[in-house]
């Protein structure tokens, strides 16, 4: 499989391709789709509150985000 690219200097991943994503504190504030995902075939961006519980579910696509790692 070939790598997908957005622009010349940017490799992107498919939006809404997984049902579970692990994110780190550096990824906050959390939005679905996340930066670095293709947007042309995705739903509108929605910000997800994950800090309080460590998990969040997107109301559009149902993807579950889990906060992992330390706060560095």
- What pLDDT was estimated at residue 2? 46
Tell me: pLDDT of 58 over 90: yes
Residue 57 domain-assigned? yes
Give me the phi and psi of 32, to 5 degrees please.
-125, 125
Distance CA 48, CA 31 (A): 6
Tell me: pLDDT of 8 over 50: no
Mean pLDDT, the chain, whole residue set: 82
State how many domains the chain has: 1
Closest CA to 47 of 27, 68, 71: 27
Tell me: pLDDT of 69 over 80: yes
Residue 54 domain-assigned? yes
Instruction: Report the predicted TM-score, pTM, of the whole model to 2 decimal places.
Output: 0.72
Residue 72 domain-assigned? no
């Amino acid at each position: 499989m070939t790598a997908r690219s957005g622009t010349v200097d940017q490799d992107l991943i498919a939006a809404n391709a997984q049902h579970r994503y692990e994110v780190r504190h550096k990824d906050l504030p959390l939005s679905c789709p996340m930066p670095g995902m293709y947007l042309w075939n995705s739903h509108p961006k929605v910000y997800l509150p994950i800090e309080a519980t460590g998990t969040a579910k997107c109301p559009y696509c149902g993807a579950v985000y889990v906060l992992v790692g330390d706060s560095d």
